[in-house]
Structure 1
Amino acid sequence: MLIQPRTRYRYLTCGTRVSFYFVCLATSAPAFAEQQSYTLDPVAVTGTYVPTSTFDTPASLDVVSQEQISDGQVGVNLSEALGRVPGVVVQNRQNYAQDLQVSTRGYGARSAFGIRGIKLLSDGIPASTPDGQGQAASLNLDVAERIEVLRGPASAIYGSNAGGVVQMFTKDGSGPATLGAGTLFGSDGFVKNHLYGQGGNDQAGFVLDASRMDTDGYRDHSAARRDQTFAKVHVRPDDDSRLALTFSTLEQNGTQDPLGQTWAGYKADPRSVSSRAEEYNTRKSIHHQQVGMNYERNFGEATLQFNLYAGQRSVIQYLSIPKGTPPNNRGGGVVDFDREFHGGTVRWVQPITAAPGLLTLTYGVDYDQSRDDRRGYQNYSGNVLGVKGELRRDEVDTATSLDPYVQAHWELERWTFEAGVRHSSMDMEVDDHYLSNGDSSGSKTYQRTTPTASVMYAITPDLNGYLSVGKAFETPTQAEMAYAPGASEAFNFGLKPATSTQYEVGLKMRLAEQARLNVALFEIHTEDEIVVAGSDSGRTSYDNGGKTLRRGLEVGLQAPLAEQWQLNLAYTHLDATYQDDVNATIEKGNRLPGVPRDSLFGELVWRPVAGLSTALEGQYRSQVYVEDSNDQKAAPAYTVFNWRARMEQKLERFTLYEMVRVDNLLDKQYVGSVIVGDSNGRYYEAAPGRSWYAGAGVEYRF
């Protein structure tokens, strides 16, 4: 970022001077500093659009550093990084055909595939479609400098489907040119090979990265191969401007889908799959390419920020809808679409020097469009199952959003004020070309103005208290609108968005020179919650389900126990219930499925000498209901422990590193994630037993 934050004198008097530049410990393969230090007050831009210390931001905002992302981690799934953030629940499905399940304060918990209800961004460019559906796999952890995670009312400034914001920033090339390679092996046929190069100076830099991951999968019929590439070039044409160009790809061919399990099937053999998965060879292929541009220029004290992006994504997925399903099913058992997407942002950041204190106004507009050429086929031909058969669906779905917004950030002595308003508009248009079964063409526009406001007071230089309130709304996704209840042909244009009012109060405390504690209480009132109306013959329809209430507590702690020891804790309590009787299934007081009441992450890190790090991780999660009635067997609570170690040696121009990791040390059998409301009763996805990973790498600096 070219914008330079302005500091207040009071923050420079505490035991550790606050740094307003986020320090990345390495720019390629992770490296350890000669003397380990912890950044308790990293700078973030998510939520304020200008660099601000997380300690001085009146919102629940956490930064996961590059070291935390890579230190002893496998570097494949976002769950490796986000488990340490309070308020965030990441369930690794052990299914690369369906991606992770990520929720923040309950938003996104009902997603049957991918991520919905949470805004995903990479370098300010959306990784979510305008209707709110995103894929975590598009965020490449190998090139991450940091990940910023925003929860609560402040998320509303990012528009619809932003119950939370997860934004990854990629690293810039810097220092002497470097080439590196690494390899990692593990349980269940896991292999990951990684090649990279990077370098740069004050004027320009580059990053090149490529990796291939193969796995047989813990469960039967869950093998996957993932190829990812990334390239970035940044230049500084002059002292007042910066331009960055990025290109990325994601390729997954024939990724097997093990589906969910029934409770009886899971208990009998957690590695097992439904016979349907093998009969129909359920699988998914993804081809994704994207280019992006970020430009920033200072005009005096003001700054112009501008980005553009475009890409394409092709997906073909073979489902297990059984042969004999009524032939008028418009969807079919094979999903096949080609997506073209593009968009951009223009933002003007203007400090107001005439105002008392430090006042900054931000004006911006976001435009995004996603166009799917979508087809559906039977998943059989004659007596041959798991192949592309007769055409059952042919349409073009176009989602377009245009969102202007304005935000103010004002620091006035001990007070900090944050306020913003955004007008979100999302248009869904369907052009149905499959007229033999009826025309489902039509359009629907969702619009809402979402204000948010926060105030923070510095009680002491090391204790901040804040209050935040905001309104948000969540549009249905294209998949949720695909079928109207009780009508096999109609697109569900009657489905309304869910609207929420959020409240949050919090404290941020520096307990000692290297210790920090964050505490937040929140309450979310939602109307017209989107719920499953029915599921039959491969068709799942949705309806609006009255009111819900979510109340919770988040606690995050970073604390050194001694010179070489570091403790990190993240605790979340979330009570999420329906407030109305909705239908024969949902009664007032029922808990929202997919949402654990309690989650706890703990990490004890030991760094006895430079170049050696080891840690013990613990994760507790309470039981999770799997459907709205709460009558089916809930996924039981579990506690698991993991251990990791990483070593590094420097030999002139070479840097060598080795790592070893053991997950689920006690070989606990547990359900790692659930498929909410699965019509076949296959709700449960088993987590692996004890698993090991070991790897090594080398890099050379020219």
Structure 2
Amino acid sequence: MNTLTRCTLLLPGLLLSNAAMADDAPLVLDPSVVTGSRSASPTFDLPYSVDGISREQISEGQLGINASEVLSRVPGLVVQNRQNYAQDLQISSRGFGARSAFGVRGIKLIADGIPASTPDGQGQAATFNLDTAERIEVLRGPAATLYGSNAGGVIQMFSRDGEGPPRIGAETLVGSDGLNKHHLTAEGAANGTGFVLDASRIDTNGYRDHSSARRDQTFAKLNVQPDDDSKLALIYSSLEQNGTQDPLGQTWAAYKADPRSVSANALAYNTRKSIDHQQVGMNYERYIGDATLQVNAYTGRRSVIQYLSIPKGTPANERGGGVVQFDRKFYGASVRWMHPVDSAPGELTIITGLDFDQSEDSRHGYQNYSGNSLGVKGQLRRDEIDTARSFDPYIQANWGLDRWTLQAGIRHSTMELEVDDQFISNGDSSGNKTYQKNTPSMSVMYAFTPQLHGYFSAGKGFETPTQAELAYAPGSVEGFNFGLKPSQSTQYELGLKAQLDNTRINAAVFQITTEDELVVYQALAGRTSYQNAGRTLRRGFELGIESQLSEHWTSNLAYTRLQATYDSDFVSGGATTVDKGNYLPGVPQTTVFAELNWKPRDWVSTAIEGIYRSKVYVEDTNNQHAAPAYSVFNWRARFEQNVEHWTFHQTLRLDNLLDRQYVGSVIVGDGNSRYYEAAPGRSWYAGAGAQYAF
């Protein structure tokens, strides 16, 4: 372990040793969350691992661009900004989602009650608008299975309501690698109607060559109270990225020779991606006596065209094409009824609900060449309608009795995937597959003292293959891989939660056994096919500590130790034996986030962050060069001034203070051995904004 790593690990402990000198300054160390219990409850009183990230933590000294800026402070999560806007973030929770080649996989993403994950489990964190976020809640462990299939964890973002006097604002941010962000906002309340309007544009050249991007986001929210017993919110959001360049991964030799390097094929075929995403939703809540009715509905569309680097003449180009294009329509609704049972001892609430979600893709594939022109839309090679839908009823009970708290529930999850192949010259690939399973969860907590709670949680979950994982049968066989089975997990968690003066401590140990783990079978000629492996075993420890050291100083620590291994031998790709005991790729064994924040005055705050991640294997045999461990430090500061109706603020930020060169993320099982994605060296950012209140 090098000196820098030791500093990262020891810094929080040194800070916490001074907690005894802390003043009695108030700090919200126990936020209320709704994730898990589905009604507002302090995290300290919930019998499972759940954390809330406040509006201040989301915005203060941050760029407001990627969720990776704030999610690293949550134990159990590994969040990597790939420096590639064409592929979105990589997020894993206790190992779930680590193998995702693009987007977020195996974790349920929700924004204002609207799923940011499709029914088959593929999600897009880029749709989260951090500029409008009031809070983010993160649930890990067995209780997450109550959110259905593909819920190895749950990340929910809640936008703020329009409140207070109307106000308008503008902000500009500039930084390294040609980054600039322009942001306009208007919010407040008038005549009983709250409103939030937000628009932003981000441009960047990217750290690596061929990685420039432009992203436009808009957001609008209206919240009203039709009467004394009800609330209604209407929400619209959009995301647009045109011609976002994709530098692809790097081989180890290319990364070492030039971290900014790009694959020659990426340049030859001008690999890129365009996204146009729009959605509208409605949240309605009504109090009927002591009971509560909640109704949510949404609809939207998403269009994507992506130019890949599959070389001209390879079989995948001849069958599926090197240009992927789809137009998606998605919609859904949920109904929830929460009813307290007054006749029961203690406090008992029964929750029943029903979730329905559907997405329909009109999907096409084209060759990525025409004659001698590369990186263009050529001959049609794929034409199909892909439909994924889920229909999930559930029931849950929350019961508090003296020192005991019990939460238990069961959900019947159904995910159906249907393929209507309209390009049948290569054989009809139409078909359908339905996955069903009951996912129960039970959690119990005992209050040893008012300041010390212990809990145990257990649950069963399952993870269905996504449409992308089903898309190709192994080898050269045409058609979908409908033989894939869902992976099924059994999860246990044992934890303690303590509140000691001005310090909050959450600690948990957990074990997850999984049957039929989904892994890469073969990545060849631009096509990745999947198979079910045998068993996997994940055992880990999480520790979260947040402390008010004094009136002006606070600290935060998130520590994760995770041993994720294959628990049985299996044969990969029909030829390669993966041994029992091999580590799951994409999952670091140790992750640490530490933060020390100083706020000497109301108008200024500054903080230093330390992040450590141990080495990461990149494929199942563990024979290829693992991405090395790294430690980085970041610094941020925010200043604010109030002058009558005006509020001004400035932001300064320096990332990777010591200019370390490291691999920021990996692409698990890449068929071209381009597993690595370099992270930027030292980077600077500066921004300023103004707001006027009427």
Q: TM-score, normalised by structure 2?
A: 0.95
Tell me, in whole angstroms, the C-alpha distance in 2 between the residues paired with 1:48 and 1:388.
Answer: 49
In the other structure, the counterpart of 2:565 is 577
State the shift of 1:490 in Å: 1.7
Preserved CA contact (<8 Å) 1:498 1:530: yes
In the other structure, the counterpart of 1:649 is 641
Q: What amino acid is the match of 1:347? A: R
Which range moves more in the overlay, 578-587 or 243-252?
578-587
Q: TM-score, normalised by structure 1?
A: 0.94
In the other structure, the counterpart of 1:122 is 111
Residue among 181, 184, 189 paired with 2:173: 184
In the other structure, the counterpart of 1:230 is 219
Q: Structure 1 unaligned segments of length 5 or more: list them.
A: 1-34
Show CA shifts across 1:146-175 (max 9, x none).
000000000000000000000000000000
SS at match of 1:355: coil
Tell me, in whole angstroms, the C-alpha distance in 2 between the residues paired with 1:297 and 1:203.
Answer: 17
Preserved CA contact (<8 Å) 1:209 1:231: yes
Q: What amino acid is the match of 1:547? A: R
Residue among 444, 448, 457 paired with 2:437: 448
Show CA shifts across 1:260-304 (max 9, x none).
000000000000111111000000000000000000000000000
Q: How does 1:357-436 map to 2 (within 5 A)?
A: 357-436=346-425
Residue among 680, 686, 690 paired with 1:694: 686
Preserved CA contact (<8 Å) 1:329 1:488: no
Q: Structure 2 unaligned segments of length 5 or more: list them.
A: 1-23
Tell me, in whole angstroms, the C-alpha distance in 1 between the residues paired with 2:524 and 2:596.
Answer: 48
State the shift of 1:202 in Å: 8.9
Q: What amino acid is the match of 1:54? A: T
In the other structure, the counterpart of 1:267 is 256
**2:289 is the counterpart of 1:300:** yes
In the other structure, the counterpart of 2:605 is 613
SS at match of 2:570: coil
SS at match of 2:177: coil
Show CA shifts across 1:367-416 (max 9, x none).
00000000000000011100000111000000010000000000001000
State the shift of 1:522 in Å: 0.3
Tell me, in whole angstroms, the C-alpha distance in 2 between the residues paired with 1:263 and 1:528.
Answer: 31
Preserved CA contact (<8 Å) 2:316 2:527: no
Preserved CA contact (<8 Å) 1:104 1:164: yes
Tell me, in whole angstroms, the C-alpha distance in 2 between the residues paired with 1:327 and 1:202.
Answer: 59
Tell me, in whole angstroms, the C-alpha distance in 2 between the residues paired with 1:80 and 1:566.
Answer: 18
Q: Alpha carbons of 1:112 and 1:328: their partners in 2 closer, same or farther (altered >3 Å)?
A: closer
SS at match of 2:30: coil
Preserved CA contact (<8 Å) 2:25 2:550: no
In the other structure, the counterpart of 1:622 is 614
**2:234 is the counterpart of 1:245:** yes
- Identity fraction in percent: 68
Q: What amino acid is the match of 2:529? A: S
Preserved CA contact (<8 Å) 2:25 2:551: no
SS at match of 1:361: strand
In the other structure, the counterpart of 2:545 is 557
Show CA shifts across 1:422-461 (max 9, x none).
0000000000001111100000000000000000000000
SS at match of 2:267: helix
Show CA shifts across 1:511-549 (max 9, x none).
11x210000000000000001111211111101001000
Which range moves more in the overlay, 617-626 or 576-585?
576-585
**2:528 is the counterpart of 1:540:** yes
Q: What amino acid is the match of 1:650? A: N
State the shift of 1:37 in Å: 4.3
Q: What amino acid is the match of 1:622? A: S
Which range moves more in the overlay, 317-326 or 661-670?
317-326
Residue among 66, 70, 93 paired with 1:104: 93
* Count of residue pairs brought into register by the alignment: 667
**2:480 is the counterpart of 1:488:** no
Q: Alpha carbons of 1:202 and 1:471: their partners in 2 closer, same or farther (altered >3 Å)?
A: farther
Residue among 449, 468, 474 paired with 2:457: 468
SS at match of 2:595: strand
Q: How does 1:501-516 map to 2 (within 5 A)?
A: 501-512=490-501, 514-516=502-504
Q: What amino acid is the match of 2:649? A: Y
Show CA shifts across 1:466-524 (max 9, x none).
00000000000000000111243121111000000000000000011x21000000000
State the shift of 1:585 in Å: 3.8
SS at match of 2:425: helix
Q: What amino acid is the match of 2:542? A: E
Show CA shifts across 1:212-269 (max 9, x none).
0000000000000000000000100111100000000000000000000000000000
Preserved CA contact (<8 Å) 1:483 1:489: yes
Tell me, in whole angstroms, the C-alpha distance in 1 between the residues paired with 2:359 and 2:147.
Answer: 18
Q: What amino acid is the match of 1:518? A: N
Preserved CA contact (<8 Å) 2:326 2:361: yes
SS at match of 1:389: coil
Tell me, in whole angstroms, the C-alpha distance in 2 between the residues paired with 1:565 and 1:491.
Answer: 56
SS at match of 1:473: strand
Residue among 54, 63, 81 paired with 1:74: 63
Q: Alpha carbons of 1:168 and 1:36: their partners in 2 closer, same or farther (altered >3 Å)?
A: farther
Tell me, in whole angstroms, the C-alpha distance in 2 between the residues paired with 1:623 and 1:509.
Answer: 31
Q: Alpha carbons of 1:327 and 1:684: their partners in 2 closer, same or farther (altered >3 Å)?
A: closer
Preserved CA contact (<8 Å) 1:330 1:488: no
In the other structure, the counterpart of 2:588 is 596
Q: What amino acid is the match of 1:148? A: E
Q: What amino acid is the match of 2:257? A: A
In the other structure, the counterpart of 1:173 is 162
Residue among 69, 72, 81 paired with 1:83: 72
In the other structure, the counterpart of 2:510 is 522
Q: What amino acid is the match of 2:549? A: L
Tell me, in whole angstroms, the C-alpha distance in 2 between the residues paired with 1:37 and 1:330.
Answer: 63
Preserved CA contact (<8 Å) 1:189 1:217: yes
**2:182 is the counterpart of 1:193:** yes
Q: What amino acid is the match of 2:672? A: N
Q: What amino acid is the match of 1:590? A: N
Q: Alpha carbons of 1:111 and 1:227: their partners in 2 closer, same or farther (altered >3 Å)?
A: same
Q: What amino acid is the match of 1:392? A: R
SS at match of 1:188: helix
Q: What amino acid is the match of 1:81? A: V
State the shift of 1:329 in Å: 4.3
SS at match of 1:563: coil
**2:627 is the counterpart of 1:635:** yes
**2:340 is the counterpart of 1:351:** yes
Tell me, in whole angstroms, the C-alpha distance in 2 between the residues paired with 1:237 and 1:399.
Answer: 35
**2:318 is the counterpart of 1:326:** no
Which range moves more in the overlay, 36-45 or 246-255?
36-45
Show CA shifts across 1:6-43 (max 9, x none).
xxxxxxxxxxxxxxxxxxxxxxxxxxxxx984211111
SS at match of 2:282: strand
Tell me, in whole angstroms, the C-alpha distance in 1 between the residues paired with 2:652 and 2:41.
Answer: 36
SS at match of 1:176: coil
In the other structure, the counterpart of 1:342 is 331
Q: What amino acid is the match of 2:407? A: E
Tell me, in whole angstroms, the C-alpha distance in 2 between the residues paired with 1:673 and 1:553.
Answer: 22
Q: Alpha carbons of 1:328 and 1:79: their partners in 2 closer, same or farther (altered >3 Å)?
A: closer
Which range moves more in the overlay, 161-170 or 35-44?
35-44
Q: Alpha carbons of 1:364 and 1:68: their partners in 2 closer, same or farther (altered >3 Å)?
A: same
Preserved CA contact (<8 Å) 1:643 1:663: yes
Q: Alpha carbons of 1:388 and 1:328: their partners in 2 closer, same or farther (altered >3 Å)?
A: closer
Preserved CA contact (<8 Å) 2:472 2:527: yes
